[in-house]
Amino acid sequence: MEVKVIIAASLRTFTGRTPEVKVNAADVSEALNALTDEYPEAAKGLFDENHDLRDFVGIYLNDSDIRTLKGLNTKLSDGDELYLIPAIAGGACESVISTERMKEVSIGDKEIRRYNNHLQLKEISIKGQKRIMAGRVLVAGLGALGGVVAERLAAAGVGTIGLADAGDVTLEGLQVQTIHGTRDIDRPRAASAKDRLKKLNPLVNTITHQEKLSAENAEEIVAGYDIVVDATDSFVSRYLISDACVLCGKPDVFGAMYQFEGFVTVLGTKDGPCYRCLYPSPPPAGIVPSCAASGVMNALPGITGAMMAAEVLKLLTGSGEPLIGKAITLDAWNIRYHIVNTARDKGCPVCGADPSIHSAQDIDYEDLCGLRENPHEEPIEAIEPAELARRISDGEKITIIDVREPHERAIRRFPGTIAIPIGQLARRQKELDPDIDTIFICREGKRSILAIRTLREAGYEGPMYNLKGGFEAAAQIIFPNEGAWL
């Protein structure tokens, strides 16, 4: 049977950037084996050390999750399409706003003029707009995605918008984070977003949560809203927010991006899955690069964020077909999109038939996402940028391996390094000298940790060090006069 395997961008590092492959296979397992035969490095991203499919990889046959079929044993037919959708990255519903709350909202001449476009739509009209105005929505993460969602919701007239973000505005973020401006650099993103929404629609009430969501505060914050928008960019936040939404009975409108691809779904409802159902565990640290490390097309947050805002409006008004039990993936560069069915996992520890998690405080989210050091695992030694600068200046004999992607190296050079992608390290380890120190660099110091662990598993025994903080931490110390890097 000839089938097409379509590979999400975040996994294409292991397939030489190839977006799709045709293979001959009778079932899903054979298809994956054929893929890894052609691209051996892909096995690292798809399977763990026991050759079990990693939990963070979702596989969909046409539009169905193979976990709702027969898993890897699912039979294939000619012309089938398999979608490999990792963590990055239906049906009508009732409004989350009660009739009583809707009736408490009044619409005067000022609101009629401002919200005229919605009032003319029979699917929204006066009742729907009053529900929107009665709504309380928390937007978690005020970068590229969250900024777009917050602006659309404010313009729509959502009564109260919570703005949760502990970070500051940076120059690097402005190309995609259009809710902020040049004058906002170094300001808290929550405060900057609040000012923007006030200018956009002074009728909207905004509440800032200028703090990092944690197991200690997430449920308390989430409980004060009708809907939560998860526009964060870390797996810790995604599992935490999803768990808190299920525990508090709040829908979770989830979105994620990678380069040219967006992903949107609605989680945490009584009829649909939560984030853990889709991805029972996160990828190992460094396997899936962040948007900051991989880049994102400027227009993508606008497309993806607007879709997320639409899901919020559907949940508030109780009309339309929200993405409950469904997810949409879109490739804005190649003009492709897919809608796949998702399902609740009856064994899910949070929303399943017999849940074992009853409070976010029961979970160590840092440990869940592999961010805490395993006391039984050999530690990864780190080198400070200043120490590396000294060793380079003194002419010490060291090897520096750059594991960044080619496009990253083209923008910011690190002279005197050997470029080896993580997927090639095991077979190219003979290029390293085990008698001298080897220092690994990436953008932020996370992928380089994965690189060292990969070589250890492959049997390399030479001394290896991770550049702490990666290229970003070293740039101004090692190359202060490099200029624009281009």
The residues assigned a catalytic role are 291, 442
String of b and e for 17-52 (b: at least 16 CB within 10 Å)? eebebebebebbbbbbebbbeebebbbbbbeeeeee
Q: Which amino acid is at 168?
A: D
> 318 — alpha (psi -120 to 50), left (phi > 0) or beta?
left
Q: What's the rounded Cα separation, in Å, for the pair 89 and 288?
A: 8
In contact, 245 and 251? CB cutoff 8 Å? yes
Beta strands 81-86 and 57-61, pairing class: antiparallel
Q: Quick one: DSSP state of residue 287?
A: T
Q: Where are the alpha helices (DSSP H) in 93-225?
A: 99-103, 109-114, 116-119, 125-134, 144-156, 189-200, 218-222
DSSP code at position 250: -
Q: Give the list of residues 6+ apart from residue 448 with CB closer than 8 angstroms, or none.
A: 286, 403, 440, 441, 442, 466, 467, 470
Provide the edge-to-edge strand list for the sheet that holds 418-419: 382-383, 464-467, 438-441, 399-402, 418-419
State the pairing for strand pair 464-467/382-383: parallel
